[in-house]
Amino acid sequence: MTTVGQSRILASESSQSTFVSGALRAERPEAARIVLNADVDKVLVPLDVCEDNRVADSMLTRDGLADMTAVMRDNPVVAMIRDTFPIYIDIWREFFGLVGFPMDDVITVALCFAPDLVTTTEPLFADVVLDKGVARGQTVAYRGHQILPGGEGAKTTRIANGLDGRRFLSIFKAAMACYERTAAPTTKA
């Protein structure tokens, strides 16, 4: 029998605030509540941990793309990233003031095999507001006294509050290198 040790859940907004909302709540806050109330350790990765120039070394930049392309010359995945991502890099740089494209989903997946990429809070209780109104679907991290009702439950959720961006990008590049095609074997005449 296999047991699950931890769940990684991508969320957004500020890890420093009461609310940690976003992808977790999606269209079905009831489902998000089931996940958060499950008796399993969880790590929420707020977007503000990834979408911050303080972790610029974790972002995909045009220079990073050029470096990857130069090293991985026969790599269909890197070629697709090279052809597709410049517009996203430019959008994040132009409209959001970031140095590159934040890879928050990829960072969350990377935590499955490198959980020490992030620093986290101590375990706390997190829940999802189901009441009708503006707060519906908000993920609430209970850190003491709250204005919202609730707060009673198992403390099984940690919230990421720091990221080793350089190490993450190194892991990402190593993973992309796995798709490098090997040279075709040569035959002797």
How would residue 5 be classed by pLDDT, with cut points 50, 70 and 90?
low
Q: Where are the domains of the chain?
A: 6-59+102-177
Name the more confident of 46 and 171: 171
Cβ neighbours of 167 (radius 10 Å): 15
Q: Is the pTM of this model over 0.85?
A: no
Question: How far, in Å, CA of 177 to CA of 61, rounded?
Answer: 17
Instruction: Report the mean per-residue pLDDT for the chain.
Output: 81
The CATH fold of domain 6-59+102-177:
Inosine-uridine Nucleoside N-ribohydrolase; Chain A (3.90.245)
CA distance 128 to 162: 23
Between 141 and 83, the higher pLDDT residue: 83
Q: Select the more confidently predicted residue: 148 or 7.
A: 148
Model pLDDT for residues 95-122, shown as the tens digit of each residue: 999 999 999 888 988 888 898 999 999 9
Token representation of residue 4: 């699950």
Q: Sorting pLDDT into bands at 50, 70 and 90, what band is 15?
A: very low
Q: Strand, helix or coil at 71?
A: helix
Are 67 and 133 contacting, i.e. CB atoms less than 8 angstroms apart? no
